[in-house]
A and B are shown apart, each in its own frame.
Chain A
Amino acid sequence: MRLYLEVARLSFRRHLAYRAATIAGLFTNSVFGVLIAAVFTALYRDRAGDVAGFSLPEALTFVWASQSLITFAALWGWWEIATAIKTGDVVADLMKPFSFQGYWLSRDLGRAACHFLLRMLPTFLVGGLFYDLALPRSPLTWLAVAPSLVLAVVVSFGWRFVLNLSAFWLLDHRGISSIAVLVVNFFSGFLVPLAFFPPELRAVTNLLPFRAIVMLPIEILLGQRAVAPALGIQLFWAVALALLAQAVLASAVRKVVIQGG
């Protein structure tokens, strides 16, 4: 356990170093936040009242929360393991006396912790400063958001881990990557809150893990969903994807053993 904590700590510190990129990223996220907020504002101006259970402040909260989640939950991909597989560094890691999956999960949690401080909080603060957001009054709700965010990263990690392992079979990950981004963008509720989706499409998103990455934490924040069942769904997907990842990893290792890397 200590080992994994140490791995997470090192990863946290490593990401802390990218300061210029942090400022640049905050600027870019904020511009997009302003832009999408303007779109929702214009829509609500033409039609007063709540829509699909969202008031305008709630819609704006969704906009800034979703922008904050991009880097924190690595929505648009992350290919460190695939790179390690290509360079062959992965073989050494597989030999080491620790869980390969646990090792990378620790690294990703360290990364997410850093991005929480450097990217997520500042972006959300910008939104809070310039917009009228629907923020929870009860400290209990804020408290419930915390485990939900952790689970969001774990679910996202499970998905990305499986995608990265595809590098054992495929030469080039750019194709998979471009498909993965659009699937996550759409089915997680990043582009449009899932509550706006027509019922048939909602039924599909309920069967997929992606809402656990974006929509569920935001719905908990907005008090739109009972906390315990929401966390339960996230936990379910965290475990399910971890098991899937383990199975894929096992078959990848068999392949390495047979082909000698």
Chain B
Amino acid sequence: MAAPLIVARDLSKTFLVARRRGGALGALRGLVDRGGTEVHAVAGVSFGVGRGELLAFVGPNGAGKSTTIKMLTGILVPSAGEATVDGLVPWKQRKRLARRIGVVFGQRTQLWWDLPLIESLELLRHVYRVPADRFRSNLAAMRELLALDPFLATPVRQLSLGQRMRGDLAAAVLHDPPLLYLDEPTIGLDLVAKARVREFLAEINRDRGVTVLLTTHDLADVEALCRRMIVIDRGRLLYDGAIDDLRRRYGTHRTLVVDRDGGAWDVAPPLPGAELVKTEGPRAWLRFDRQKVSAADLIAAVAAGAPLRDVAIEEPAIEEIVRRIYGEGTGAAVAEDARSGRTASSGGTLPADEPDRDAPRIIPRSP
């Protein structure tokens, strides 16, 4: 295997957060005296990323995932540790690295707000000094892949969020970067737009060999796209590995969904190791521990009680597993937890509404 594209060793970022002082005098003193508390936004993170990988950074807001990415792009200088990206040290060789990476921020566009989309793309051609023929063929490919044509001449401020994201994706890859970072690329998008973004990422990863590293708290992104994920919380890695592994190791519970032939369900779980989650008309959901009972046995037992029309087995939802990892703080504890069979709450996405812990506070100016 070729040398890895990204190597991070003991990467750390500590912010000094100024104490908030009361009163006008306090505010003035805050300018001079920078005393404050240290916040370890990223505390000794190590990992490697191989060429052609498509992996996700998962964690709640303030977990340190954005800070990690910002160190790997050269925006932030780490407090300790080292990293190379494509052989370059990001914060020392920022400009050279900039030509080899594309970056998309879900909540901020890099397009020129008042200008038509096509003008932004043309400008980026100059910024990255993309040869004209290369630009032409890339633009043609992006127009096709992202269906940009209907709004290519529209000022960016008039685009919908989904259209703008498509524009931003095109903008990020026009200079053929071998590595693409995306920070919350699907945030705020509707389902159709989300699907389009995922499709695009899968395609450039597969067809162009672009290495993709994305942060998200929508685990549906991860399930749809990635084979590997890194779970991070409070600045530390909690898990780094294949999603299937995660499921195998921590997700011992599966759900059997059975459709009864006529009539509603009124049965109790027929075997030890399985419990009835809910019923809805002829359909029932049975949660079972695959270490205690095999799916075949369970189906046979249920079928003995009532005629079945259809059966399906659902894998454990990733978010349920990840939620447990956060809850316990370390992978080892999660494994314990999984074995003890405690139930975890389920839900669509991870908590996103808590205030950023790693972000330095910047107070808007008075009007």
Residues of chain B in range 125-143 having any CB-CB distance to chain A below 8 Å:
none
Interface string of B334-367 (1 = CB under 8 A from A): 0000000000000000000000000000000111
- Which secondary structure dominates where chain A touches chain B? helix
Shortest Cβ gap from A136 to chain B (Å)? 29
- CB-based contact B367/A20 at 8 Å: no
- Which secondary structure dominates where chain B touches chain A? helix
Residues of chain A in range 12-41 having any CB-CB distance to chain B below 8 Å:
15, 18-23
Asked if A80 CB lies within 8 Å of chain B CBs, one says yes
- CB-based contact B367/A23 at 8 Å: no
Identify which of B26, B31, B365 contacts A21 (C-beta below 8 A): B365
Residues of B within 8 A of A80 (CB): 367
- CB-based contact B367/A19 at 8 Å: no
Q: Bound state CA distance, A23 and B28, in angstroms?
A: 7
- CB-based contact B23/A20 at 8 Å: no
Asked if B24 CB lies within 8 Å of chain A CBs, one says yes
Q: Bound state CA distance, A21 and B30, in angstroms?
A: 13
Shortest Cβ gap from A99 to chain B (Å)? 23
Q: Bound state CA distance, A78 and B31, in angstroms?
A: 27
- CB-based contact A21/B28 at 8 Å: no
Q: How large is the interface on A (under 10, 10 to 19, 20 to 34, 35 or more residues)?
A: under 10
Chain B, residue nearest A26 (CB): B24
Chain B, residue nearest A27 (CB): B28
Residues of chain A in range 24-83 having any CB-CB distance to chain B below 8 Å:
78, 80
Asked if B27 CB lies within 8 Å of chain A CBs, one says yes
Identify which of A15, A19, A78 contacts B24 (C-beta below 8 A): A19
Q: Bound state CA distance, A18 and B24, in angstroms?
A: 9
Residues of B within 8 A of A21 (CB): 365-366
Interface string of B24-55 (1 = CB under 8 A from A): 11111011000000000000000000000000
Residues of A within 8 A of B365 (CB): 21
Shortest Cβ gap from A94 to chain B (Å)? 21
Q: Bound state CA distance, A23 and B26, in angstroms?
A: 10
Chain B, residue nearest A15 (CB): B366
Identify which of A15, A18, A20 contacts B28 (C-beta below 8 A): A20
Identify which of A15, A19, A78 contacts B27 (C-beta below 8 A): A19
Residues of A within 8 A of B24 (CB): 19-20, 22-23
Q: Bound state CA distance, A250 and B130, in angstroms?
A: 55
Shortest Cβ gap from B20 to chain A (Å)? 11
Residues of chain B in range 82-117 having any CB-CB distance to chain A below 8 Å:
none
Residues of B within 8 A of A20 (CB): 24, 27-28, 30-31
Residues of A within 8 A of B30 (CB): 20
Shortest Cβ gap from A104 to chain B (Å)? 14
Shortest Cβ gap from A86 to chain B (Å)? 12
Q: Bound state CA distance, A22 and B23, in angstroms?
A: 11
Chain A, residue nearest B26 (CB): A19
Shortest Cβ gap from A5 to chain B (Å)? 23
Q: Bound state CA distance, A23 and B25, in angstroms?
A: 8
Shortest Cβ gap from B32 to chain A (Å)? 12
Q: Bound state CA distance, A15 and B28, in angstroms?
A: 18
Shortest Cβ gap from A78 to chain B (Å)? 8
Residues of B within 8 A of A15 (CB): 366
Residues of A within 8 A of B28 (CB): 20, 23
Residues of B within 8 A of A78 (CB): 367
Residues of A within 8 A of B27 (CB): 19-20, 23
Interface string of B235-255 (1 = CB under 8 A from A): 000000000000000000000
Q: Bound state CA distance, A19 and B23, in angstroms?
A: 7
Q: Bound state CA distance, A15 and B367, in angstroms?
A: 9
Residues of A within 8 A of B26 (CB): 19
Chain A, residue nearest B23 (CB): A19
Identify which of B23, B25, B31, B366 contacts A18 (C-beta below 8 A): B366
Shortest Cβ gap from B319 to chain A (Å)? 35
B25, B27, B31, B366 pick with most chain A CB within 10 angstroms: B366
Q: Bound state CA distance, A80 and B25, in angstroms?
A: 28
B contacts, CB < 8 Å to A: 23-28, 30-31, 365-367
A19-B23, A20-B24 given; 10 more Cβ-contact pairs under 8 Å: A18-B366, A19-B24, A20-B27, A20-B30, A20-B31, A21-B365, A23-B25, A23-B27, A78-B367, A80-B367
20 A-B pairs with C-beta separation under 8 A = A15-B366, A18-B366, A19-B23, A19-B24, A19-B26, A19-B27, A20-B24, A20-B27, A20-B28, A20-B30, A20-B31, A21-B365, A21-B366, A22-B24, A23-B24, A23-B25, A23-B27, A23-B28, A78-B367, A80-B367
User: Closest 6 A-B residue pairs measured CB to CB?
Assistant: A20-B27, A18-B366, A21-B366, A19-B24, A19-B27, A23-B28
